[in-house]
Amino acid sequence: MLNFDSRSIVSAAFLLLGGILLFAGCSSPDPSQAKSSGGPVSSSAGEGDAWKANLSEDVVQALSELPEADRSAALAQKTCPVTDGPLGSMGKPVKVTIEGRDVYLCCDGCEKELNSHPEKYLAKINTPN
Ligand SMILES: [Zn+2]
């Protein structure tokens, strides 16, 4: 029973550590300066609108439909590995988990292609640019 207890303590510690890291990563030295772009930006919740920079309105709209965690991942991936088109350009990106990885596709039409050649497309994601 000691074993069970120590395992839950370890996972709690990891959660705590993750929370601290996340918090440290998000907090900037001077939060009042972080959002200085003084535009008519509507109520930006928490993280702000920095991710929208350099994205077209359509893409912003599509990515806004994703949960925050998925959106960050889709932004990191940037393009659909099947079409090489920007994620969000065809509407809300489609999330597919393949070989243990979350992959974002521009549309569900690409899912079949991804499933046909997973290694080819996963390799493209693994090597950005
Ligand atoms: Zn597609």
pLDDT tens-digit series, residues 1-48: 555 666 666 666 666 666 555 554 444 455 444 444 444 545 545 568
Q: Mean pLDDT throughout 104-126?
A: 94
Q: What residues sit around ligand 1, an ion, with C-beta below 5 angstroms?
A: 83, 106-107, 110
- Given a contact cutoff of 8 angstroms between Cβ atoms, the answer to whether 88 and 63 are in contact is yes
Give the model's pLDDT for residue 30: 52
Q: Round to whole Å and give the CA distance between 13 and 34.
A: 30
Instruction: Give me ligand 1 centre to Cα 66, in Å.
Output: 16
Instruction: Give me ligand 1 centre to Cα 51, in Å.
Output: 22
Place of tokens 């590995």: 81
Q: Checking phi first, is residue 9 left (phi over 0); if not, alpha (psi -120 to 50) or beta?
A: alpha
Q: Round to whole Å and give the CA distance between 79 and 39.
A: 28
pTM of the model: 0.61
Instruction: Give me ligand 1 centre to Cα 6, in Å.
Output: 46
Give the model's pLDDT for residue 127: 58
Question: What SS3 class is residue 96?
Answer: strand
Instruction: Give me ligand 1 centre to Cα 45, in Å.
Output: 30
pLDDT tens digits for range 51-70: 999 899 999 999 999 999 99
